[in-house]
Amino acid sequence: MRSPSASSSSSKNSKMECCSKVVGLKRGPWTAEEDKMLSEYVKREGEGRWRTMPQKAGLLRCGKSCRLRWMNYLRPTVKRGHISPDEEDLILRLHRLLGNRWSLIAGRIPGRTDNEIKNYWNTHLRKKLMRQGIDPKTHKPLQQNYSSVQQNSISLVQLISSSQNNIDHVQEGADGIKLDDDIDTYNFLQDDAFSSFFNSLINDDMFTNNQQQQQQQQQEQEKETTAGINP
């Protein structure tokens, strides 16, 4: 007896199997006879169940191919012919709001498919906006975008130049050039004569402290000795 997990996994694998792997399926352009068979079946049975529909309709096609053929070409509501200026204007306004969401755009233009609108955008509208000096992505003038990029580049160059000037200023100060009072003080502290004098003061203080400590120790020893002699 098969376990439920095994049966469920096998059913999932069968559902996930792509019909493109089935041997004997026909590829390439659709014929008029195939279009007629597909249209008659959908009119009789309705849309949906695309995976099992080709076998029932007598078609040697993939279910995905049947669905795309019906939705993009054979569906009665599909609008044929060139896109009108009103539709073109609507596509531009929707693209400005939605971007490359072709399914959402097609849902707001009756009779047009997302594939048709996408192709029309890439082949006509995108190039048209470029010729007009408009960025197809932002729908803003290209000159404005170029100016902002150029301004950012100038600001970056100024920042780099200012940083280099600061580095040169510090380097010059470190090399001993007297630029201001702080640099003079720095040079004075780095002078060899001052360093020797300062070290001597430190050494004198240390010597004086040592002498005082030795004197205190001697006095304490003398007190202890005197106390031992005269109980």
The candidate with the shortest Cα–Cα distance to 190, out of 178, 202, 203, is 178
Please list the alpha-helical segments (H only) found in the chain.
Answer: 4-16, 32-45, 53-57, 63-69, 85-98, 102-107, 114-120, 126-131, 142-174, 181-189, 192-229
Does position 206 have pLDDT exceeding 90, yes or no? no
pTM of the model: 0.48
The candidate with the shortest Cα–Cα distance to 61, out of 19, 93, 97, 91, is 19
27-53 per-position pLDDT tens digit: 889 999 999 999 999 999 988 889 999
CA atoms of 35 and 37, how far apart (whole Å): 6
Confidence of residue 105 (pLDDT cuts 50, 70, 90): very high
How many of the other CB atoms lie within 10 Å of CB of 93? 13
CB 101 within 8 A of CB 89: no
Amino acid at 57: A
Does position 12 have pLDDT exceeding 60, yes or no? no
148-184 per-position pLDDT tens digit: 555 665 665 566 666 566 555 545 554 544 444 444 5
Question: Across the chain, what does the average pLDDT equal?
Answer: 74
pLDDT value at residue 216 = 73
pLDDT value at residue 155 = 62
Q: What percent of the chain has pLDDT over 70?
A: 56
What is the number of residues in the chain?
A: 231
Tokens 């995905």 label which residue? Answer: 64
All residues at 6 or more sequence positions from 60 whose CB lies less than 8 Å from its CB, including other chains: 24, 25, 26, 54
Residue 52 has which token pair? 């099992």
Dihedrals phi, psi of 134, to nearest 5 degrees:
-115, 135
Confidence of residue 73 (pLDDT cuts 50, 70, 90): confident
DSSP code for 19: G
